[in-house]
Structure 1
Amino acid sequence: MAGVLKKTTGLVGLAVCKSPHKTTEPDVKQSEDQLQGVQIKEVILQVENELSLARKMMQWKPWEMFMKEPPANQWKWPM
């Protein structure tokens, strides 16, 4: 199936990636078969989203808000 170009992913809003295998498997079909039905473009989109979130987390530093002592009554459940 090498040489066959995919025209659509079949997923709304998800375009076919023109070079999804720059450093991995050169045969897109074989890669998708190894992923058991998951399309390469879905994997690329997921990785891009995770990378974007990781960069945002570095800016937001959500772990810093827990570096202070919690208020004395924070963990008390109203009875």
Structure 2
Amino acid sequence: MRFDKALAIPKRHQKLLRLVRAGDYSASHLAKELNVSEPTINRDILFLRQHGYRLKAVRSGRGWAYRLPEKEFLRRRPIP
């Protein structure tokens, strides 16, 4: 069981990146999509930033949303 949970984290990171690439999503929307809490999304965003992903919080019409610079769409980095 514990091993399954550990494997779920990198998969969640990949899904998070796919969602951020697809559109402007707030932390609350990402949390709902990934079935986790907003603090978990914030920790995941911090983790991805620390591993070289330049995720940015930007003001959108609906509030704050996460985005990746266009160059990041093309770059593929393994997630530890």
TM-score by length of 1: 0.28
Which structure has the larger Rg over C-alpha atoms?
1
TM-score (norm 2): 0.28
Normalized per residue, the structure richer in strand is 2
Greater per-residue helix proportion: 2
